Structure 1
Amino acid sequence: MAAQSAPPAAAPEPGLRARKKQRTRDALIEAAHRLFLGQGFASTTVDEIASAVDVSQRTFFRYFANKDEVALAVLAEAEDHFIELLRARPAEEGPLRALRAAIVGSWRERGSAHPTGPCSVNAALELIRIIEDTPTLLAAHLRRVAEQERVVIRVLAEREGLDPAEDLRPAVLAAAFGAVLRAAHLSWTSDQEDIGPEGMIALIDRHLDQLGPALVGDWRSTP
């Protein structure tokens, strides 16, 4: 009697395959950021990033087109999560209150998920500094910020039942909010102690609290 051949091995479940890919992607991001923060963006090569995760350059390029993309990946994910939180805010909240609540939730969740390491609050702020000091990264980041701003405009207009082509308030608020956030991020310096999510939230609140006075207040009076 002929020996029966062994049944073919079952293919990995789609969920398992997706989780494995996500773990590889996360590991590449963490390795890249650790290298960027430790030795600088310009001094870090794709080969070093791949080697740190024990994968090939070919595997790296399955996930990211170049160094710039992996450098911006954490911020891009954080920006997308901020939009999700904004969409989920209660309809009765005013636009600025909803924006503030969404950004607070975003930073608080980051601090909870990544209390230390290359994706922590301080590491994210250090990465923002690297981006600001690297022209190619800054250009790519600002393009991403502009795209996000357009999404925020649409979300705010939908929440308030407005046509953003006719009513300029969503565009003005989205632009002002983004500029205040950037000012808050850049006010942090790397010689500060571990700021943590609550420290970052307090810093953002301080800046947003000055938005009204900066626009309509008398600057010569005592703040």
Structure 2
Amino acid sequence: MTSAPRPHHRPEGPAMAAAHTPAAPAAPDTTGRLPGLRERKKRQTRDALVQAAHQLFLGQGFAETTVDEIAAAVDVSQRTFFRYFANKDEVALAVMADAENHFIECVRQRPAGESPFEALRASIVQSWRDLATADRTGAGSVTSALELLRMIEETPTLLAAHLRRVTEQERVIVRVLAEREGVDPDQDLRPRVLAAAFGSVLRAAHLSWTPDHEDTGPEAMIALIDRHLDQLGPALAGHWQH
């Protein structure tokens, strides 16, 4: 379902500054405390590297961007870059990894009375809204996030790494759903089936987005996801001929 590669153009001035992709909100550590000053500064440096990398990737192409360019855009050394990321591929996937982790946390926090499907659906809506709120640039965030995802789909090495992570995420979701419902996922197939179906529908929704969407805010993406999820039951269990 990947789309044909598109030419990349380097943004200039304010347009490039607005190309941020949303980063996950800062979360408390395992003791419930908010990060200290040192941790916040490290997070700020990491986020700055991610944002600079994505601006360059979307502006001039992934293959054409070097680690030196990313580091220079944040005014740090190449050595500093490698304290945070092992390579260029890892920084390209960082926002998606953060978003996936945030989604899983949202699922864990959903009310116990919700059905598993309701919990997943509410979590993806909450995730998009939270990540957009965490971004300081406003409406451009959803567009740049989805353009980044499209770039990953069009870059074989990135796509392979992204799909490996998606598979790992699906396993975590299976465990979370099983724990919520008190079932054994090795014996009960429902957590695996739901996690696989939900993940596939989300990917289809993301890939159906096009850059010419007039509304670039999170609600437009949420509406698109809702349209796809609304078709899950009829597509799986309903008759297609009328």
Same fold (TM over 0.5): yes
| Aligned position for 2:229 | 208
| Aligned position for 1:83 | 104
**Structure 1 segment 41-60 matched on structure 2, within 5 A:** 41-60=62-81
Aligned residue among 28, 33, 53 for 2:49 = 28
1:157–1:170: 8 Å Cα contact kept in structure 2? yes
5+ residue gaps, structure 1, are 1-13
- The amino acid of 1:100's aligned partner reads R
Instruction: Output the TM-score relative to the length of structure 1.
Output: 0.90
CA distance in 1, matches of 2:59, 2:189: 44
Higher relative contact order (CA 8 A, sep 6+): 2
Give the number of equivalent residue pairs.
208
The CA deviation at 1:15 is 2.2
**Structure 1 segment 161-180 matched on structure 2, within 5 A:** 161-180=182-201
Q: Name the larger-Rg structure.
A: 1
User: Residue by residue, what CA displacement relative to the aligned partner does 1:133-190 show, whole Å, maximum 9, x if unpaired?
Assistant: 0000000000100000000000101111100000000000000000000000000011
2:152–2:159: 8 Å Cα contact kept in structure 1? yes
Instruction: Output the TM-score relative to the length of structure 2.
Output: 0.83
- The amino acid of 2:189's aligned partner reads L
| Aligned position for 1:7 | none
CA distance in 2, matches of 1:115, 1:201: 19
- The amino acid of 1:140's aligned partner reads A
Identity of aligned residues (%): 76
1:120 counterpart SS class:
helix
CA distance in 2, matches of 1:23, 1:95: 35
| Aligned position for 1:3 | none
- The amino acid of 2:230's aligned partner reads D
1:218 counterpart SS class:
coil
Relative distance call for 1:119 and 1:52 in structure 2 (3 A) is farther
CA distance in 2, matches of 1:173, 1:19: 36
1:110–1:121: 8 Å Cα contact kept in structure 2? no
Relative distance call for 1:117 and 1:59 in structure 2 (3 A) is farther
Aligned residue among 126, 132, 157 for 2:178 = 157
For the pair 1:70 / 2:91, whether they are aligned, the reply is yes
5+ residue gaps, structure 2, are 1-34
- The amino acid of 1:174's aligned partner reads A
CA distance in 1, matches of 2:206, 2:144: 12
The CA deviation at 1:118 is 10
CA distance in 2, matches of 1:180, 1:105: 17
Over the aligned positions, Cα root-mean-square deviation in angstroms equals: 1.5
